[in-house]
Amino acid sequence: MKITIIGTGYVGLVTGACLAEFGHHITCMDKDTSKISALQDGQIPIYEPGLDELVRKNSRDGRLSFTTNLAESVANASAIFIAVGTPSSRRGDGYADLTYIYAAAKELAQHLKGYTVIIDKSTVPVGTAKQVSRLIQETNPDADFDMVSNPEFLREGAAISDFQRPDRIVIGAESVKAQAVMKEIYDPLYLISTPFVFTGLESAELIKYAANAFLAIKISFINEMANLCEQVGADVVDLAKGVGLDGRIGSKFLHPGPGFGGSCFPKDTIALLRTAQEHGVPARSVEAAVEINASQKAGMVKKIRDALGGDVVGKTIGVLGLTFKPETDDLRDSPALSILPPLLEKGAKIQVHDPQGMKEAEQLFPEFTYTDNSYEAATDADALVLMTEWNQYRALDLEKIKSLMKQPLFIDLRNVYSPDKMKNKGFVYVGVGRK
């Protein structure tokens, strides 16, 4: 099938490359000429494991191409995915900014030819698909199209495998014809028995927010339990295991840490709260998850300061990891961005390492010292903070780390290491929710 993807951000690019791999003919369209020419040269603007390979392979095989020409790419397509950004609105009120979606809808409407399915893949508040549909109709009353909402559940760092082996595909569609087109698009997943959930437009839109909000609630819940564990002498890792093995609860997303970050949970929980407010429906559990997350990040600043005796003036803090999670170069809403600046302001010297996030961090925090590896980050440090659980930080040469540090204080905000083992190796060990 000939498919056009509008927007070559994270979602658009992964969707385009993976659908090309399914055998479709994909045109990825973006207005950003420098981005498109870089993609035409095989340069991928984001770090996502496996994506560059997939883009290069499918471009070479002629199934994936990149263009800035909206008119042509729209006219030729049987299906069009809208995957433009929906950042938090510039008004700072938590609403998702739909400017790009509406602009794309109006523009593509003028170029539609023949029956086309228009699929909203961006994360958008309930009612957006209907609004987009109205806009297209108003702009081009003769257009023959159906609107579909097809939210994505990809995790950064694991997006390719999530796309190829998803837990489910959610399709909000209001005609059998559109459902049939969607089935054809995802045919390879149908064949491996992926569950398909067919709903109306509004349900599909809300499923996306509800899924992210539920996961955020789960994380905030375990973070609260971690804080309680610290006070009563329990171990949250044991607690999470004991609780998570209950099949009704599940063990995933029960890892305590410095709070959730990234481009999705923080933005989507707030956007869901705004929608609930607008409709006069309380969403207290989501509200609590957001509040707990803010205090969790603040709590990490206190944890580090307390471990250093309450005062960080003149102290050197080594930091391993800056991105909001491993296997990404994404710093958006990363807990590190909330935890490190207050320590810097209080007079600490911050020396950091991150496998992918340092280039962007250098722009945001020129005051940090950027190092080439974990050991440089530990050198002369009064404390070493493990902020993001990159694999390369899971097998540190602890003897070497200890010998390089000013004092062996290891603050493990991801509970990667065992407290007992660390103590046996001579470290003062501080985890999250552990003795």
Active-site residue set: 264
* Shortest distance (Å) from residue 129 CB to ligand UGA: 17
Compute the least distance from the CB of residue 290 to ligand UGA, in Å: 13
Q: Does 262 bind ligand UGA (CB under 6 A)?
A: yes
Residues 268-307 that bind ligand UGA (CB under 6 A): 268
What track of x and - describes contact with ligand UGA for positions 61 through 100 (by CB under 6 A)? ----------------------------------------
Among 96, 170, 215, 225, binds ligand UGA (CB under 6 A): 215
Listed ranges 174-182, 187-195, 253-261, 274-282: which one lies at the site for ligand UGA (CB under 6 A): 253-261
Interface positions, 152-191, toward ligand UGA (CB under 6 A): 152-156
Span near ligand UGA by CB under 6 A; candidates 100-108, 113-121, 256-264, 364-372 = 256-264
CB of 138 to ligand UGA, least distance (A): 30
For residue 403, the minimal CB distance to ligand UGA (Å) is 30
In order of 214, 250, 281, 292, the CA distances from 285 in angstroms are 9, 19, 12, 10
Q: Which is nearer to ligand UGA, 262 or 355 (CB)?
A: 262
Nearer to ligand UGA, 125 or 257 (CB): 257
Cβ atoms of 93 and 274 closer than 8 Å = yes
Q: Are 103 and 122 in contact (CB under 8 A)?
A: no
- Residue 237 contacts ligand UGA per CB under 6 A: no
Give the residue carrying structure tokens 């809208």: 82
Q: Measure CA 185 to chain center.
A: 24
Measured CA to CA, the distance from residue 151 to residue 212 in angstroms comes to 11
Q: Give the residue with the Cβ less far from ligand UGA, 219 or 225.
A: 219
CB atoms within 10 A of CB 316: 20
Q: How far apart are CA 412 and CA 388, in angstroms?
A: 9
Among 18, 213, 219, 401, binds ligand UGA (CB under 6 A): 219
219: left (phi over 0), alpha (psi -120 to 50) or beta: alpha
Closest CB to ligand UGA among residues 333, 382:
333
Binding mask 304-333 for ligand UGA (x = CB under 6 A): --------------------xx--------
- Burial code (b: 16+ CB inside 10 Å, e: under 16) for 68-106 equals eebeebbbebbbbbbbbbbebeeeeebbbebebbeebbe
Nearer to ligand UGA, 123 or 150 (CB): 123
User: Is residue 265 involved in binding ligand UGA (CB under 6 A)?
Assistant: yes
- The full length of the chain comes to 435
Taking the least distance from each CB to ligand UGA, the nearer of 115 and 214 is 214
Q: Which region among 81-89, 150-158, 173-181, 195-203 touches ligand UGA (by CB under 6 A)?
A: 150-158
Among 29, 254, 286, 290, binds ligand UGA (CB under 6 A): 254
- Dihedral over alpha carbons 99, 101, 106, 107 (to 10 degrees): 100
| Residue 238: how many other CB atoms lie within 10 Å | 12
Beta carbon nearer to ligand UGA, 261 or 318:
261
Please tell me the distance from the alpha carbon of residue 112 to that of residue 55, in angstroms, as a whole number.
26
Candidates 55-63, 249-257, 281-289, 311-319: pick the segment binding ligand UGA (CB under 6 A).
249-257
- The neighbour count for residue 386, using CB atoms within 10 Å, is 24
Task: Decide if residue 125 touches ligand UGA (CB under 6 A).
Answer: no
Q: Pick the closest to residue 50 from 24, 7, 17 (CA basis).
A: 17
β-pairing, 145-149 with 169-173?
A: antiparallel
Contact partners, residue 10, CB within 8 Å, separation at least 6: 46, 48, 156, 159, 263
Contacts with ligand UGA by CB under 6 A lie at 123, 152-156, 212, 215, 219, 253-255, 257, 260-262, 264-265, 268, 324-325
